[in-house]
Structure 1
Amino acid sequence: MKAVTVKKIKDELAHQSTSELIELCLQLSKFKKENKELLTYLLFESHNEERYIESVKAYVDELFEQINIKSYFYIRKSVRKILTLTKKYIRYSKKKETEVELLLHFCRKLKDFKPSIKKSPRLIATFDRQIILIKKAVETLHEDLQYDYQLELNNLAENA
């Protein structure tokens, strides 16, 4: 089965009743975990972005504490997993401020991680790539926010 375009889906949804739309959303939420997480964000957390950011930061902190530090292989693998999850939560929000906040938090945690990432070129490359992405996202924000985030970014890059 080939998926139809978003426009066709939108047109078809416009013809559905409220109860049918509710049933479609519930069926969609049962199909995949990401769909359920996205619906959770849209229904319960999108109206309070600060609380959403804090909850994701707390989850990232918890994941960093669980990293197996016996080898850099396990550290890299865990860091990639945490970054993938962070990016997924950023996609749910679609707000540049949220993207900057969460990526800055990820980079802070990575920089402060023990054992140091300086012994792993791949972890340093991951850190550097995220700094570049943060800079690109900061450029799209309002000037006042740009200044604040640029100060944090400079502080983070200086001490790296």
Structure 2
Amino acid sequence: MKIESIVTIKKELKHLPKEDLLALCLRLGRFKKENKALLTYLLFESHDEDGYVASVKNTLDELFETMNTDSYFYMKKTIRKILRQIRTYNRYSNKKSTEVELLLYFCERLNSLTPSIHRNRTLSNLYHRQVVSIQKKITALHEDLQYDYTIQLEEIENHK
């Protein structure tokens, strides 16, 4: 089966009646959890980005609370899982400010973990890669947001 381009699919979707579009969306939502999550975001949460960020932060809090901190090995696995989820949530939103805000929150939570992630080289490097990534992403934002997020990042860095 040859997979068509987005342009071709868009042209074809324009010609479909409303009922057929609805059926296609529902069928798409049945196949993968990510498709259903994206449809949920687009239908219910895309109009309230602040609410979306708050709900994602609550989800991240739950993941951090259930983290096994007995060993750095278990911490690494969970932290990487959390980071993967953040990337997924960012793909739904497509807004750079949301991405920066979630990554800042992630780094803030990493700094507050006990035992400290800075005693483990792998976790410390992961943290520093995220800080560098945040700095790059901040430069693409509006000047006012750049200033606010830069101050937030400096505060997180100073609380190590």
Return the TM-score normalized by structure 2: 0.97
Q: How much has 1:91 moved relative to structure 2? A: 0.9
Supply the distance in 2 between the matched residues of 1:12 and 1:124 (Cα, whole angstroms): 49
1:92 lines up with 2:113 in the alignment = no
Displacement of 1:6 after TM fit?
1.0
Aligned to 1:4: 4
- Counterpart in the other structure of 1:105: 105
1:33 is matched with: 33
State the partner residue of 1:46: 46
* Alpha-carbon shift at residue 52 of structure 1 (Å): 0.3
* Number of residue equivalences: 160
Q: Give 1:7 shift.
A: 1.1
2:159 aligns with: 159
Whole-angstrom distance in 2 between the partners of 1:129 and 1:16 = 46
**Alpha-carbon separation, structure 2, partners of 1:145 and 1:47:** 20
1:79 alignment partner, SS class:
helix
1:136 is aligned to 136
Q: Give unpaired runs (5+ residues) of structure 2.
A: none
Identity %: 51
Task: Tell me the equivalent position of 1:15.
Answer: 15
Letter in 2 for 1:21: L
Whole-Å separation in 2 of the counterparts to 1:89 and 1:103: 11
AA matched with 1:60:
L
Counterpart CA distance in 1 for 2:115 and 2:43 is 39
Q: Distance in 2 between matches of 1:87 and 1:128?
A: 17
Unmatched segments (≥5 aa) in structure 1 = none
Runs (4+) off by over 6 Å: none
Greater mean alpha carbon deviation, residues 142-151 or residues 21-30: 142-151
- Match of 2:11, SS state, is helix
